[in-house]
């Protein structure tokens, strides 16, 4: 167990250890870095969960071992199209599978060795799982207990397994966490920090100056790699213009507190009044996942209106940026050393492992600082540099890239892969800034849903959502209208702008299409995804906020939601005063009758549970205009299989008040519900029910239920 303060070099040592272990092909090397965004791919916090870590470890393990659990793999493959979290994806099942795979391979190969590296364990969070333990502790404890159990089993079985975990001193779980051997970071990092400073100063021409600055910085380098990185970056920047005395003064005056260092670096950015530098900070800070160097470079091409025929022509223009060391140095200089382009994976010659360049902050503490009161949105900052402005900038980069490209699969803009996935996220987070006068105009393909380019953007976005395994992917179809997508993603302001120009989506909000309930899907998805503000907006568009106002074809929203089995909408409407007793000029007249006809027991329960006893009585006594049937009459005659009717009746009677004459109500033919059931018996006594067997035998059970209720 490696424990130390933030910024002292834990991750540096862990990465070196992973690379060293990976180079030995006889060792199965598994690793998970909780504070490394590239492990995730989406802004969702579930990427820092114990489940994400275990999935990552299992995936790496299966790629490296010859013996695999093929039966389990077949089950996983079968589950992937549905994108459901099935039982074998739980933490406990993943742990069992990892242990089994290691055990099976070790039993066949006595030379089997496995090393597991877990970095930044304190960053783990299970907040999305609703864990019974404190959310900031559940993920960390799950991993610690798994590692301890795995090592204990391996020791007992004589299997060579080792695990290394790095974390901060806090949180500390005391007696709840397993015992582990502690490693003193200072013994391992002090020499490495000094060597790092020495390497960073080699570019200075004067050897005496190198030595003098080295001694000064080593004297103050107790805070580890992060401090050394920031201060040497600032010295390198100043070396082009400063005298030796000025460099010594700079070294002596450098702050030792991280936030002070960040603030000083940011003040230099503001004083330089470089729009590009601020945009780079904004793009990196609010990106849904860390971009590659090429993605960021091409994103910068679209921060303003794109006036070139191709990205290649932009690159060769006066304003263009070319790839390579020059761009890396530009990022380094513009960010005052707070942003780096890191190479992930094994970049050693001859390695067959893939590498990826990733743009990121030099430490996990930089982003929280930039979001804080002394960061980009501070009173000293330039106007338009808040997080909300950053999201608007990213959204506008996305739509400009879409507008400039054909999106037919032959585009060379590297930023597109990022834009396909995250443009709705940035639209949502930009909020009402999209209405500001200085906001970019929506491209024509986003103004109307019929556009072929829109369909290509939609298809690519859904592909990205499915790959990221986020919940919204389950709610969208391959040909969803923009109304449905924007509602699902909670892009309220963008949705309002789209409705200003798209007649098809406006009509879907106010007119009924008997074939497809586009508005219902949009409203339902917004509620499932917990985009309540978007749901309220949709209601305002549909009925000016009056939940009981009928649509032009005579249906109330509650009737429509009950008919289409939208549980979330029913609950939402009832909480906002929807009246279940209002009739609609439709076949079943009342929401309750529509739910009975469709067999939606859960909808029936929602309608009745929401009412008090007197209101339930009134609702159950309401007669249909055409037949005089109450809801209980209609259960007898609705035509559904008798087993369905039994289930529906049982649900209704649980909420029905006794002693108020519900079963004595008579229809237009003077029949009570029980008498109506007997008439149906007599008329159809030879008919087979859908469940099999004579209808009269099954109708008898409904009559018995009514008789028992009267007792």
Query: 61-90 burial, b for 16+ CB within 10 Å, e for fewer?
Result: bbeebebeeeebeeeeeeeeeeeeeeeeee
Average pLDDT over residues 488-498: 94
Of 66-75, 449-458, 584-593, which range is least confident? 66-75
Give residue-wise pLDDT tens across range 192-212: 777 878 888 888 888 888 888
Asked if residue 178 lies in contact with residue 144, where contact means CB atoms within 8 angstroms, the answer is yes
Give the residue with greater pLDDT, 494 vs 219: 494
Mean pLDDT of the chain: 83
Give residue-wise pLDDT tens across range 401-412: 999 999 888 899
Tell me: pLDDT of 220 over 70.
no
Give the residue with greater pLDDT, 168 vs 402: 402
Band of the pLDDT at 2, cuts 50, 70, 90? Answer: confident
Q: What are the tokens at 511? A: 């007119």
Which pLDDT does position 579 carry in this prediction? 94
Give residue-wise pLDDT tens across range 290-333: 899 999 999 999 999 999 999 999 999 999 999 888 898 899 88
Which pLDDT does position 74 carry in this prediction? 63
Q: Is the peptide bond preceding residue 517 cis, with omega within 30 degrees of 0? A: no
In degrees and rounded to multiples of 5, residue 3 shows phi and psi of -125, 135
d(CA 251, CA 481): 59
Which pLDDT does position 184 carry in this prediction? 64
Give residue-wise pLDDT tens across range 558-594: 998 898 888 888 998 998 899 999 999 888 999 999 9
Cα separation of the two ends of the chain: 69
Which pLDDT does position 83 carry in this prediction? 42
Which pLDDT does position 145 carry in this prediction? 92
Band of the pLDDT at 348, cuts 50, 70, 90? Answer: very low
Average pLDDT over residues 228-243: 79
Average pLDDT over residues 247-251: 81
The overall longest dimension of the chain from CA atoms, in Å, is 111
Tell me: pLDDT of 267 over 50.
yes
Which pLDDT does position 3 carry in this prediction? 75
Which pLDDT does position 351 carry in this prediction? 44
Q: How far is CA 511 from the centre of its chain?
A: 33
Which pLDDT does position 66 carry in this prediction? 93
Distances (CA, A) of 145 to 10, 95, 512, 609: 21, 10, 55, 43
Tell me: pLDDT of 78 over 70.
no
Which CATH number describes the domain made up of 2-181?
3.40.50
Tell me: pLDDT of 93 over 60.
yes
Grouping H, G, I as helix, E, B as strand and the rest as coil, residue 116 is strand
Tell me: pLDDT of 42 over 50.
no
Residue spans per domain, the chain: 2-181, 187-256, 275-428, 621-711
Tell me: pLDDT of 273 over 50.
yes
């Amino acid at each position: 167990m490696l424990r130390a303060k933030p910024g002292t070099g834990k991750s540096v040592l862990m990465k070196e250890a992973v690379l060293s272990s990976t180079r030995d092909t006889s060792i199965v090397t598994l690793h998970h870095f909780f504070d490394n965004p590239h492990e995730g791919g989406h802004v969702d916090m579930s990427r820092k969960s114990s489940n994400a870590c275990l999935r990552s470890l299992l995936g790496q393990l299966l790629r490296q071992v010859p013996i695999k659990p093929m039966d389990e793999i077949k089950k996983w493959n079968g589950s992937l199209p549905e994108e459901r979290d099935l039982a074998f994806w739980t933490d406990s099942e993943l742990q069992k599978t990892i242990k089994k795979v290691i055990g099976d391979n070790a039993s066949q190969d006595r030379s089997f060795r496995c090393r597991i590296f877990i970095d930044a364990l304190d960053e783990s969070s299970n907040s999305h799982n609703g864990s019974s333990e404190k959310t900031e502790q559940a993920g960390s404890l799950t991993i610690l207990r798994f590692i301890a159990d795995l090592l204990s089993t391996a020791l007992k079985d004589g299997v060579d397994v080792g695990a290394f975990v790095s974390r901060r001193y806090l949180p500390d779980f005391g007696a709840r966490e397993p015992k582990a051997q502690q490693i003193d970071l200072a013994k391992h990092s002090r020499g490495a920090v000094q060597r790092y400073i020495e390497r960073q100063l080699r570019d200075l021409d004067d050897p005496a100056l190198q030595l003098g600055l080295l001694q000064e910085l080593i004297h103050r380098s107790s805070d580890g790699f992060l401090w050394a990185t920031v201060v040497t970056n600032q010295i390198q920047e100043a070396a082009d213009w400063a005298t030796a005395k000025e460099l010594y003064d700079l070294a002596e005056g450098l702050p030792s507190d991280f936030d002070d260092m960040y603030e000083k670096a940011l003040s230099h950015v503001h004083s330089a009044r470089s729009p590009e530098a601020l945009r780079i900070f904004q793009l990196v800070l609010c990106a849904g996942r860390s971009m590659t160097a090429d993605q960021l470079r091409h994103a910068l091409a679209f921060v303003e209106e794109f006036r070139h025929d191709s990205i290649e022509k932009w690159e060769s223009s006066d304003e263009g940026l070319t790839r390579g060391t020059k761009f890396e140095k530009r990022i380094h200089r513009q960010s005052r050393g707070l942003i780096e382009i890191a190479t992930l994976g094994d970049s050693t010659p001859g390695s067959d492992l893939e590498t990826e360049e990733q743009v990121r902050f030099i430490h996990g503490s930089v982003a929280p600082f930039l979001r804080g009161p002394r960061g980009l949105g501070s009173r000293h900052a330039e106007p338009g540099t808040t997080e909300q402005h950053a999201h608007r900038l990213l959204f506008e980069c996305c739509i400009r890239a879409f507008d400039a490209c054909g999106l037919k699969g032959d585009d060379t803009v590297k930023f597109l892969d990022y834009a396909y996935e995250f443009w709705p996220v940035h639209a949502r987070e930009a909020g009402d800034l999209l209405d500001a006068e200085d906001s970019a105009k929506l491209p024509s393909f986003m103004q109307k849903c019929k556009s072929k380019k829109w369909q290509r953007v939609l298809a690519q976005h859904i592909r990205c959502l499915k790959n990221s395994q986020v919940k919204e992917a389950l709610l969208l179809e391959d040909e969803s209208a923009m109304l449905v997508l924007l509602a699902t993603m909670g892009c309220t302001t963008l949705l309002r702008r789209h409705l200003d120009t798209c007649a098809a989506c406006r009509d879907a909000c106010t007119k009924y299409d008997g074939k497809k309930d586009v508005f219902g899907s949009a409203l339902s998805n917004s509620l499932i995804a917990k985009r309540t503000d978007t749901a309220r907006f949709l209601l305002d568009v549909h009925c000016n906020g009056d939940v009981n106002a009928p649509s032009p074809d005579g249906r109330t929203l509650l009737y429509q939601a009950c008919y289409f089995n939208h549980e979330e909408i029913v609950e939402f409407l009832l909480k906002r005063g929807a009246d279940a007793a209002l009739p609609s000029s439709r076949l079943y007249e009342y929401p309750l009758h529509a739910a009975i006809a469709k067999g939606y027991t859960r909808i029936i329960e929602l309608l009745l549970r929401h009412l008090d006893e007197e209101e339930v009585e009134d609702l159950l006594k309401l007669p249909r205009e055409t037949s005089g049937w109450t809801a209980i009459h209609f259960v007898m005659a609705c035509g559904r299989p008798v087993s369905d009717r039994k289930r529906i009746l049982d649900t209704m009677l649980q909420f029905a008040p006794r002693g108020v004459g519900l079963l004595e109500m008579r229809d237009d033919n003077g029949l009570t519900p029980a008498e109506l059931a007997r008439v149906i018996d007599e008329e159809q006594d030879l008919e087979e029910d859908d469940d099999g067997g004579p209808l009269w035998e099954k109708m008898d059970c409904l009559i018995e239920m009514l008789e028992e209720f009267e007792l």
